[in-house]
Structure 1
């Protein structure tokens, strides 16, 4: 089952870099407007806070789609499964809905971590598994190594960055993409085009960007601590961008702006 593309789970609430009461308030606001998919990671250091906040909402477990990610430091045979079990304890759940490898194995050999990921699913610790920050070539290798569906490759996906190679790989491998840095950490707001397009639909620049991502066939992860923005980011299913506006936004990829570079994350891959 491809959980990440079920209609109710196309829009996930991301939790990085929130912790404590700020995270609890944001998750409560997200739940109130309709979010049921929530994204965290071992690397964020907030799984326990996320678990407590989700429990405090009173939402039934079967309503939720919870994603977490194993950090590379835990890719060893002696650490991987134990780290996932700890994540489940911290999240106060018996099984995560989607378990991802947060980054390709830094030493270059993808096979051991992919096999451990599949083992976690076979042990019942994860309902679905996937990858994050994998290049197109790595997506093809993952598809060859893993015997079960990979439900997503979570990557930076926003209109100022050309990700056509990854989109083509998604079609080729059957591994859908999902986005992080969906508004390029605010960089998109420097360009008037998005607001101009939004005016024609009665929508904000951010809503236009998020709708464009969805219409590209990519699920979205968004984060805000402001209730109005949390609601706005969720309300992107009631309009459709025209083919002309989609093409106008598509042209923005020529900007070539990437948030997550090797300067920001040293283990980031060399993108194809």
Structure 2
């Protein structure tokens, strides 16, 4: 059974770039709304702040799914395990639910960092492990070299980018996908068809885009500091897009609007 099999874990709350009181208030609101999956990373610099807010919550630990990601600069034998130990301390956890490699080494070999990830699992630092920003070739390599399941490849996924190759690789390798930049940082609102579809279902364009992601078989992460948006992002389980709506949204992927490229992140590989 997938670690994301519970509906509540299919809708995660992302914490980038939140810090301080803004982060604390947003996480408290998210918990009240019903979010139980929270996503952070060493790179975000907010693991300790997230850990403190979750520790003060009355929500039982076994009802939460905490994901963090190892910074690319820590993916060597000297720094990897100490960095994960620091994440455990900062998050105030005995074990990380899902530990990811945040970025691959550009187009370089992925095997060394995968072995370190596997070692963290062997030591009991993480219940589950996964990757992020992996290409189809990297997914196949990871599936072939790892002795334990890779529970997720977290990637940019929204209606304005065609990720059919990654979806095919997911089906082939058994590595599920999860989304970030799920509404393309607001770019989706420039496309009237999402509003038109939303009107037919009594939903917002963002809710339509997020429902499309889930119906693609992809779990998702969203972030907002506005309670009404956080609640809307969460309330997408009470409707279903029919095939004609899905096909209409599929056509938007021709925009090929990618946010995470080499101009933004130096570790970005050559995308499929």
TM-score, normalised to structure 1's length? 0.98
Residues 89-104 of structure 1 correspond to what in structure 2 (within 5 A)?
89-104=89-104
8 Å CA contact retained: 1:154, 1:180: yes
**Aligned residues between the structures:** 272
Task: Give the superposition deviation at 1:4.
Answer: 2.6
User: What are the superposed Cα offsets for residues 231-263 of structure 1, whole Å, 9 maximum, x if unpaired?
Assistant: 000000010001100000001011111111111
In the alignment, is the contact (CA less than 8 A) between 2:106 and 2:270 conserved in 1? no
* Per-residue deviation, 1:130: 0.3
Q: Secondary structure at the match of 2:88?
A: helix
Give per-residue Cα distances to partners, 1:211-243, cap 9 Å, x unaligned. 000000000100000011000000000100011
Q: Which runs of 5+ in 2 are unaligned?
A: none
2:121 alignment counterpart:
121
- Number of the residue aligned with 1:210: 210
Map of 1:198 onto structure 2: 198
Summarize deviations over 1:2-28 as a string: whole Å, max 9, x none: 213432200000000000100000001
- 1:63-112 Cα distance to aligned partner (Å, 9 max, x none): 10000000111111111111001001000010010000000024712111
2-side partners of 1:30 and 1:195: how far apart? 25
Give 1:56 deviation, angstroms.
2.2
Match of 1:10 in 2: 10
**Match status 1:31 vs 2:31:** yes
Q: C-alpha separation between the residues in 1 aligned to 2:22 and 2:7? A: 28
CA contact (8 A) 2:107 2:270 kept: no
1:55 matched to 2:89? The reply is: no
Contact 1:15 1:40 survives alignment (8 Å): yes
CA distance in structure 2 between the aligned counterparts of 1:72 and 1:115, rounded to whole angstroms = 14
Q: Which runs of 4+ in 1 moved over 4 A?
A: none
Question: Map of 1:1-272 to 2, 5 A cutoff?
Answer: 1-106=1-106, 108-272=108-272
Consecutive unaligned residues of structure 1, counting only runs of 5 or more, are: none
Query: What TM-score does the superposition give when structure 2 sets the normalisation length?
Result: 0.98
